């Protein structure tokens, strides 16, 4: 007689959805919120769309054309950072989160606009599944660089021990072009022992628009972690 089947754990997609829905429930009536770019944010937007149909009144500031198009399909009212330079909240994802709430972001190539929105928001809600929570930041750090300065920036990153790779498109030939018209360098480092220092060095390189290290927002960051046991909320 065959043994009982083991309980199946919730797949990563399900954990992302649960975390995204939880983040959406944190939004209050009348808020103006930043809308990040990526799959976890999509789930939050999906739930927000339902809440809007039920009477929730909000406006969203999209961080990419992709987010803007999705928001329009979901009938989420949109506005701009010019109209609302101070936001109540931003909902976004992350590639990695460490115990101090420092982040690596930028897989969706929207890091500069995401950083602008994060800076403008009173609260930054980061939605991830458990695999994104790490003891030490170690992933490649995306860097947005203007095309004119590509080679000097590559040399500068190599000079501090980094290994930059130009990000290429998946469904197009050539490099990824950001919504700002720039290139993305994915930069690996032997270790990231001082994320704040590395963020400062990268950000000050001439030709760099921004980098994917988000270290300055830790005091206002809330991380919603989707797990098979349910959501867990982390903050400072």
d(C-alpha 163, C-alpha 203), whole Å: 16
191 is catalytic: no
Taking residue 55's Cβ as centre, other Cβ atoms within 10 Å add up to 7
What values do phi and psi take at 78, rounded to 5? -115, 155
Q: Count other C-beta atoms under 10 Å from residue 116's C-beta.
A: 17
* Structure token pair of residue 156: 């500068």
Rounded to an integer, what is the distance from CA 92 to the centroid of its chain? 5
Selecting among 114, 123, 144, 199, the annotated active-site residue is 114
Just list the catalytic residues: 114
């Amino acid at each position: 007689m065959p043994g009982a089947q083991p309980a199946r754990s919730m797949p990563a997609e399900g954990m992302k959805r649960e975390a995204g829905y939880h983040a959406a429930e944190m939004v209050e009536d009348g808020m103006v919120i930043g809308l990040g770019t990526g799959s976890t944010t999509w789930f939050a937007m999906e739930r927000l769309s339902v809440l809007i149909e039920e009477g929730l009144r909000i406006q969203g500031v999209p961080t990419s054309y992709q987010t803007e198009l999705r928001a329009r399909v979901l009938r989420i009212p949109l506005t701009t950072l010019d109209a609302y330079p101070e936001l109540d909240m931003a909902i976004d994802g992350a590639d990695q989160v460490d115990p101090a709430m420092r982040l690596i972001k930028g897989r969706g190539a929207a890091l500069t606009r995401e950083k602008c929105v994060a800076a403008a928001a009173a609260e930054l809600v980061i939605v991830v599944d458990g695999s994104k929570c790490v003891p030490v930041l170690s992933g490649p750090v995306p860097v947005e660089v203007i095309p004119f300065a590509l080679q000097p920036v590559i040399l500068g990153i190599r000079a501090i021990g980094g290994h930059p790779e130009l990000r290429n498109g998946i469904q197009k030939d050539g490099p990824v072009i950001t919504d700002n018209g720039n290139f993305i360098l994915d930069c690996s480092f032997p270790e990231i022992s001082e994320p704040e220092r590395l963020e400062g060095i990268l950000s000050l390189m001439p030709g760099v628009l921004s980098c994917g290290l988000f270290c300055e927002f830790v005091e206002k960051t809330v991380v919603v972690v989707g797990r098979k046991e349910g959501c867990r909320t982390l903050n400072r």
